[in-house]
Amino acid sequence: KLGSLLLSQISDLAIYATIARADGLGIGKALEFAAKNLNPLNAKDKRIAMQLGIASQNIINDVGLRYGEAVKGVDFASRMANATIKLSGAEWWTESLKRSYQQLIGFELNNAVKDGLDKMPKQFQAMLKRYGIGDAEWEIIKKVKPVKISGEEMIAPVQIKRMADEFEMSGDKATAQAIREVAIK
């Protein structure tokens, strides 16, 4: 039954586009990022995104699964279900769309830094507020050096964390902790 799972996920593109529109991120750019990430020949950008911690949940899941196998064992049916999901392409599809959305947010964050947050759609500003990004957090984000993926500049959480590491190394632990909290948000 899981073999045709990927076919049922085609509707994810509509949901993805709807969420992007609702968050003020724009459907066109959202679909462009999705197309780039769904392209199996785009391994270089995928590798860069993974290095930047974008949509690395699949790595965490794999480590957790392996650890779980070592600690309590996993039965044959569970291993077969996991293998079927991977082989069907469902995991690739889901991770590609997650990576696309995170890149889209990073791209729009970079645009907001360049153009000013007040010029961004109200939905985008509301999304940031939902995630606890207020004026203090925004001042930190504005200082982050963007990275380039797929020819687009974006702000990645790992860049914020690197900024926190610099403060940590200089002895300013309080500022470093505040910056790390922004990276998490």
Distance CA 133, CA 73 (A): 41
What is the mean pLDDT of the segment spanning 89-115? 83
- Has residue 86 got a pLDDT over 80? no
- Tell me 25's DSSP state: S
Q: What's the chain's average pLDDT?
A: 76
pLDDT at 88: 62
Percentage of the residues of the chain whose pLDDT score is greater than 70: 68
pLDDT at 136: 92
pTM value is 0.67
Q: Would the pLDDT of 63 be above 80? A: no
- Asked if 16 and 30 touch (Cβ cutoff 8 Å), the reply is yes
- Cα-to-chain-centroid distance, residue 2: 26
Residues 111-161: tens digit of each pLDDT: 999 999 889 889 989 989 998 999 999 999 999 999 887 788 989 888 888
Q: Do 53 and 44 touch, CB atoms closer than 8 A?
A: no
pLDDT for residue 37: 72
Q: Tokens in use for 99?
A: 């990576």
